[in-house]
């Protein structure tokens, strides 16, 4: 019995340590340039449906969000884009992944999407790349963008600190300018 209690105690302590480490960890903040550069496509549109399914290896669950694209700001996007975020529930099995970005049917969004090794498109920066678009066409996001620093240590003069409140067409112009100047792949 003591051995069983000891194993339980060690497992409990290990779980608490891992939980504290996870709570203490933070995601790296991306600048506008980093987000644009690391995204394969940047698009605006409406979420039209959602479903959860297994990956090709039947190892992980992914929740898929169908996005009817109204405008492509970077990259070649089809009229329908499948955004996939890890986790979800199917056939009574659930998988929750920290950092997965939720979408809801009916949302109007502007999103920065990166290609995962499994081929899926996922929101860039663990949700930093998702912006809601209001009825007036303005984008809103909960994340401030990191300020880039030049080699001399001072903030870059033209660095964008927030997209919040800009129109989707203004964001499109900024993305287009970044792609024209840096090919969209500079790091």
Summarised one tens digit per residue, pLDDT across range 6-60 is 433 433 333 334 444 444 456 688 999 999 999 999 999 999 999 999 999 999 9
Parallel, antiparallel or unpaired: strands 88-90 and 130-133: unpaired
Cα-trace Rg, the chain: 20
Q: So what's the pLDDT on residue 28?
A: 81
Residue 56 CB contacts under 8 Å (≥ 6 apart), including other chains: 118
Count of Cβ atoms closer than 10 Å to residue 81 Cβ: 19
- Between 60 and 184, where is the model more confident? 60
SS3 content of the chain, % helix, strand, coil (to 5): 25, 35, 45
Compute the distance between CA of residue 37 and CA of residue 42 in angstroms, rounded to an integer. 10
pLDDT digits (tens, 9 = 90+) for 124-144: 999 999 999 999 999 998 666
Share of the chain above pLDDT 70, in %: 74
Which domains are delineated in the chain? 32-182 (2.40.50)
The pTM of this model reads 0.79
Compute the distance between CA of residue 10 and CA of residue 91 in angstroms, rounded to an integer. 33
**In the structure encoding, which two tokens stand for residue 69, read together?**
């694209």
Q: So what's the pLDDT on residue 137?
A: 96
């Amino acid at each position: 019995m003591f051995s069983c209690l000891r194993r339980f105690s060690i497992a409990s302590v290990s779980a608490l340590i891992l939980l504290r480490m996870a709570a203490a960890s933070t995601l790296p903040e991306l600048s506008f340039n980093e987000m644009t550069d690391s995204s394969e496509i940047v698009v605006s549109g409406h979420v039209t449906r959602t479903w959860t399914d297994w990956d090709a290896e039947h190892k992980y669950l992914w929740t898929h969000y169908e996005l009817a694209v109204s405008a492509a700001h970077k990259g070649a996007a089809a009229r329908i884009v499948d955004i996939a975020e890890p986790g979800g529930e199917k056939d009574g099995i659930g998988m929750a992944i920290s950092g997965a970005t939720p979408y809801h049917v009916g949302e109007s969004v502007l999103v920065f999407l990166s290609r995962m090794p499994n081929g899926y498109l996922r929101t860039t920066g663990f949700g930093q790349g998702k912006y809601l678009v209001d009825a007036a066409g303005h984008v809103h996001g909960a994340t401030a963008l990191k300020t880039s620093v030049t080699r001399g240590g001072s903030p870059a003069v033209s660095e964008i600190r927030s997209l919040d409140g800009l129109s989707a067409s203004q964001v499109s112009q900024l993305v287009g300018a970044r792609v024209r100047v840096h090919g969209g792949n500079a790091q």
